[in-house]
A and B are shown apart, each in its own frame.
Chain A
Amino acid sequence: MYFVEKSQTSNPYKRFDYMLFISVLVLSAVGLVVLSSAVRTRPGILKSQILAMIMGIALCLILSIIDYKDLKVLSLFIFFGAMSLMVLVLFIGSGEELGNKNWMKIAGFSIQPSEYAKIAYIILASVFLERIKDSTEKNKSDIIKFIVYSGVAIGFVLLQRDLGTALVFGFIFVIFIYIVGIPYRYIFILGGGLLLSLPFIWVYVLNGNRRERILTFISPDRDPQGAGYNVIQSKIAVGSGQLFGQGYGSGLQTQSRNVPVNESDFIFSVVGEEFGFIGGIIIILLGLIILLRCIYIAKNSSDSYGSFLVIGVTGMLAFNFIENIGMSIGLLPVTGLPLPFVSAGGTAVLANYLAIGIVLSVSSRRKKVMFST
């Protein structure tokens, strides 16, 4: 299939990015503490979260050893594997009640294929992006392939009516084309086009529930018992944490579960209420360290493929971080994206660790240090 140039570095452990890995571990540990408080009456959730993390860390380490360049060979296979799962979920999936149909049960495990699809998309898109970037002349066929595959991926997610994930894909796509070097004038044209298409999205893509969420985002008080309820309750929770928080297991909002899905979508309300501003800063700082470290790795990657892989992962994590926290404090509309490494959800934890594994793999095979670290 593709010609794969193996990395030259002989000992990947020396280049292993401990800073990133440890940051992720610390964030996961902090996440477990927060989660354990949120699910005090539901210990099952905590158990499966710990299990997923152990599996995730193992997969992450394995991936970090494997040369990321091998992914090129499997990229199409992975991509279509993930897409077929996404099709399957349309038929046997659940989750309709919450407005989307994006998870299914396989052998007792609930799986959300779109989480894996994000990574599959990144792996495949990076192949084309590297070719586009590295070829000296215009490379129309790869540009078209990149756009088509991106379209396919986003299309499948939209079929599931999973707006949050579609936005993640969109965000990754935008970052990709930005990094690949699209001239700024095209960015403006694209931005303008998106603005113009908003009314169509409003009418044809969004269902009533979503529209309500966006309207409620603009004015949460328009329906405090309905769509605005989550945001209002979350803000109350975060706000009442004040500087130092109410303390572990002592948040009124958290413990009475006034904030819906506070083990996942609204986990930051638990952080805010029980661990206060200090706790929130710690989470945000850890997130920022991970993102900055990823960008650093992308910058120092030995090749463009590694760089695009990491950029994709960074975009995915960044969007999740910012959107999740932003919606918890009423800054962004509610989309139902989990907070990476903190929110409960086995699939998301596994997927995120896989993504970090890829980043670690890229980092292990980076060039000799060009700048002092």
Chain B
Amino acid sequence: MLADDLRGMVYIALKDLKAYYFKAPNISWGILFPFAFILAFAIRNPGDLRALVPGLLGLTVLFGTSSMEAIVIVFERRIGSLERLLLAPVRLPALLAGKLLGGMTFGLTVTLVVLVVSLAIFGSSGTNWLILFLALLLSATAFSAMGAFVSVAVKEVFEAQTLANFIRFPMMFLFIRFPMMFLGGVFVPLASMPGWLQAFARLFPLTYSVEALRVALFGGSWATAALDLGALAVFSLVLFALAVYTLARRIE
């Protein structure tokens, strides 16, 4: 049974990558959108561009994993093809894990492109590769699980996009310091925010993702990185469990 689940998970991910993800518009959107955001920020606030890299990577993982993931399941449910997967000898958690794997693979692929470009420009000295690897992997898992949860929680594609943006944009607002882009501010540590905003920020996985990436690229305490990676792992598990539970209720 486990072999059936693992096989199903891998082939569902490969099918999704072929059918939905690796299309020219998705690839260009996945790479260009975060760059465009950062470029807009950089033009407005010329300064230490290197400091923007963790935010850029965090945004790329967020959009790369969750943009398509948030609509794939609701789209397949609408046209009936999700039923094919539900009827196959693959258990529901494995089915959703396959969906997550597809989103993660695509998100990490486009992030790798952005990472290579960033490191080529700014250099890689002082990078903690282990934390970087774990931060990207766990960020991709958490954001992909979030996309899956959004996708099973709604009935229509447009609702999925709306809900995904509703979740994503506050995250950007908080962690890319969206208002500061236009008010002349720069990236600042979370600690410089008011207490209530810090607490609110801790509700979103992107906070931990960007913080861990900052430690990986610029150094910092292992304790901070461990806390961030742990939080991302918890987000992944909770969002995945919620997605499985919600889908199970929806199909009955």
Instruction: Report whether chain A binds chain B.
Output: no
Interface on B for A, CB 8 Å cutoff? none
